[in-house]
Chain A
Amino acid sequence: NAGVTQTPKFRILKIGQSMTLQCTQDMNHNYMYWYRQDPGMGLKLIYYSVGAGITDKGEVPNGYNVSRSTTEDFPLRLELAAPSQTSVYFCASSYSQGGGNQPQHFGDGTRLSIL
């Protein structure tokens, strides 16, 4: 199984540009998450989804949008890129919600620089 796949692996954007970070999982997990990891800091939850058609804000949602039209895919959209959004973005999925005893499976991240 591929697990959680993120594309692209690297991207450089100019300020004001927009882009979509792709995430797909093949484990049939209902729960999916987007995190950002800034240098020397812990991961922060941006958005999460408990199933197709259902999304909710995490800790740091400003400047981002998500959609969940299928169980497999959970894209993250940056509309007007800002330097503060330079980070490594991780997508994750799990069988149960964060309170359960099932692990979250992470992709290998998208490294995004905004100049």
Chain B
Amino acid sequence: KNQVEQSPQSLIILEGKNCTLQCNYTVSPFSNLRWYKQDTGRGPVSLTIMTFSENTKSNGRYTATLDADTKQSSLHITASQLSDSASYICVVTPSGGSYIPTFGRGTSLIVHP
């Protein structure tokens, strides 16, 4: 069964600090790995998309990395801002078939002033 596990479940940091969120997956073979940001009461918004052949992708202060050999991805947030407080979701889509994605449960990030 395809699984996506995210850690930590929740994280509290001070404004201006950096943090790294982890995503481990079992989906194989996979087509792409995506990171989404979901604000409370809103729908997810795409941050990065990496295909199986890419190992890093940046979007402003957000940098995602991918190690397809170990089936791990991380999302690094630099110089955090209060607006970064949200849930961050890792999503892995398989290849060669239905393309039904597997979503992680998300990491809840709180940034304090």
What is A's interface to B at a CB cutoff of 8 Å?
4, 35, 40-45, 56, 58-59, 90, 92, 97-109
Contacts and interface: CB of A to CB of B under 8 A. Distances in A.
A108 B43 contact: yes
Interface stretch (B44-52, B65-73, B75-83): B44-52
Contact of A103 (B34, B89, B104, B105): B34
B100 A103 contact: no
Contacts, number: 57
Interface of B: 4, 31-32, 34, 41-46, 49, 51, 89, 93, 95, 98-106
A43 B103 contact: yes
Contacts of A41: 105
Given A98-B100, A101-B51, A4 B43 contact: yes
A52 B98 CA distance: 18
A97 B4 contact: no
A97 B94 CA distance: 11
Nearest to B105: A42
Q: Which of A58, A97, A99 has the most CB of B within 10 A?
A: A99
25 contacts: A4-B43, A35-B103, A42-B4, A42-B89, A42-B102, A42-B104, A43-B89, A45-B101, A90-B44, A98-B93, A98-B100, A99-B31, A99-B32, A99-B93, A100-B32, A101-B32, A104-B44, A104-B46, A105-B46, A106-B43, A106-B45, A108-B41, A109-B41, A109-B42, A109-B43
B3 to A, nearest CB: 10
Given A43-B103, A99-B31, 17 more contacts: A42-B89, A42-B102, A42-B105, A45-B100, A90-B44, A92-B43, A98-B32, A98-B100, A99-B93, A100-B32, A101-B32, A101-B51, A103-B34, A103-B49, A104-B44, A104-B46, A109-B42
